[in-house]
Each structure stands twice: as C-alpha cells, then as structure tokens.
Structure 1
Amino acid sequence: MLVDSRGTVCGPELENCLPSKSRFRRLAPDNTLVDGPPLTGYYTSYPAMDREGTAVFWRDGKLLAVDADLDAHELFAMDDSRNVMNRTLLLGDGRVVVSLDSEVLTFHSPLGPLAEGPWPCGDANLRGNPVLG
C-alpha cells in the first residue's frame, strides 16, 4: 500500500486466487473503497508514488502506472511470467527500477520525483517503517 502526503491510502489489491478480480483501490475518508482499474495476474512488486499521486508497480509482465484519478497507464509490457515480490524504485529523473529474479530493469517514464509523504516507498522503504509526524 501507499500513503500520500494527505494521508490517503491506496494500492493494488492482492487476491489469493486466479483468475484475479483484484483492482487498484483507494480508501476514502468514510472508510469505503474507491474502485480503480482492474488488475490481471497475481504477483505484484511493492509500488512507489510520485509527487503527482501516480503509483507505479510491476504486475503480470507489465509496468503499470495508476494516476491520482485512478486511470491506468501501461508503461511497458513483455511476455514474462516471473514472480516479482520486490520493491519498485522511482528515481528523481523519472526512471523506474524493478528487479525480476536475477535481472534489474530500468525504464524511462513520464513520472515525477518520489512523493513526500509518510509512506510513498521512499528509498525503497530503507528508512524503516512509515512514521506520521
């Protein structure tokens, strides 16, 4: 999950069955779920979020971005069934880095710098668990 600078929680759902009915969702202030785009596949990298509120992650052979309006954008796709359970890194110049098994893939994207917030996956969460100030 991701928590933006306003404390909004969002992220890809994980459902323990295939075919998946998972979606990218946002938790609304009234504790209801707001539906985002449906997601295919099962294994998902930990997402990162840029300053505009766009989440980016790898799922089902695709590098996906879901913007603040919950619109999905496929940034890259390949025929690949490797299981990914690693972090997604978002570097300052829009580069996105994911690892697939023993490979590290780097992509140029239109994304902005990593968000400032309690848990946008800063430094791949190397700074520890999220802390609200």
Structure 2
Amino acid sequence: MLVKGQCTICGPELENGLPSTSRFRRLAQDNTLVDGPSLTGYYTSCPAMDREGTTVFWRDGQLLAVDADLASHELFAMDDGQNVMGRTLLLGDGRVVVSLDSEVLAFHSSLSPLAEGPWPCGDANLRGNPVMS
C-alpha cells in the first residue's frame, strides 16, 4: 500500500492463488475501492510512488507504472523466472532500481522524483519505501 499526502491510498492487490484476479486499486474518499488495471502473475516488488502519483513496481516479468488516472504502462519486460522481489527505488532523475533474487536492475524512465512525506518514501522503509539522497 502507498499513501501520497493526505488523500491518495493505493497499491497492487496481493492474493494467495493463481490465476491472479488481482488489480491495482485506489481507496476513494467515500471508502470504496476504485478498480485500476488487472495484474497478472503472483510476486510483486515493494512499489514506489512519484510526485505525480505514478506507482512503479515489478510484477510477472514486467516493470509496471500505474499513473494517477489508473492507466498501466509497461516500462520493461523480460522472461525473468524470478521469485524473490525486493524493494523498488525511484531516484530523483527518473532512474528506477529494483532487486530481483541476487540481481539489481536499473532503468531510465520519465518518472518524477519520489513523493514527499512519510509514505511512500520516509526513513529508509521504516514508514514507507526507501529514500536515496
């Protein structure tokens, strides 16, 4: 789950079964769930959110970005066969870094810097996702 400011709570659903019926969802102000894109696969890296409200994470061999309008964008894909996902780091210049098993992959993107606040980026994952200075 990611929280941006005081108003946006969202993230990829996790379930314990295949085939996946998971979606990326947002919690609306009236406490209803807003459906985002369907998600394939099972394992998901810890997501990170940029200042524009775009969430980036690794799932099912793809680096995915879900924007503030809940549109999904594939940033990279490969036949990974990876099962152990780690953190997703979003660096200030649009670089995305994700750990998969014993590898660390880095990508250039057009994402903005990590969102401000204790979630999704504060205190090296004590209250959210990691921050790199």
TM over 0.5: yes
Match of 2:119 in 1: 119
Equivalents in 1 of 2:3, 2:10: separation in Å?
Answer: 7
The answer to whether the 8 Å contact 2:121/2:127 transfers is: no
- What is the CA distance between 1:124 and its match in structure 2? 4.7
SS at match of 1:25: strand
- What is the CA distance between 1:86 and its match in structure 2? 1.1
User: 5+ unaligned residues in a row in structure 1: which ranges?
Assistant: none
Residue 129 of structure 1 pairs with residue 127 of structure 2:
yes
> How many residue pairs get matched?
128
Which 4+ stretches in 1 moved above 4 angstroms? Answer: none
User: 5+ unaligned residues in a row in structure 2: which ranges?
Assistant: 129-133
The answer to whether the 8 Å contact 1:47/1:87 transfers is: yes
- What is the CA distance between 1:83 and its match in structure 2? 1.1
Match of 2:100 in 1: 100
Equivalents in 2 of 1:123, 1:72: separation in Å?
Answer: 28
Q: Which amino acid aligns with 2:94?
A: G
Q: Report 1 or 2 for greater relative contact order, CA contacts < 8 Å, sequence distance ≥ 6.
A: 1
Equivalents in 2 of 1:95, 1:122: separation in Å?
Answer: 18
Identity %: 82
The answer to whether the 8 Å contact 2:120/2:127 transfers is: no
Match of 2:82 in 1: 82
Match of 1:26 in 2: 26
- What is the CA distance between 1:118 and its match in structure 2? 3.0
The answer to whether the 8 Å contact 1:98/1:105 transfers is: yes
Query: What are the superposed Cα offsets for residues 23-78 of structure 1, whole Å, 9 maximum, x if unpaired?
Result: 00000111110000000000000000000000000000000000000000000000
The answer to whether the 8 Å contact 1:89/1:123 transfers is: no
TM-score by length of 1: 0.91
Match of 2:70 in 1: 70
Match of 2:49 in 1: 49
TM-score by length of 2: 0.91
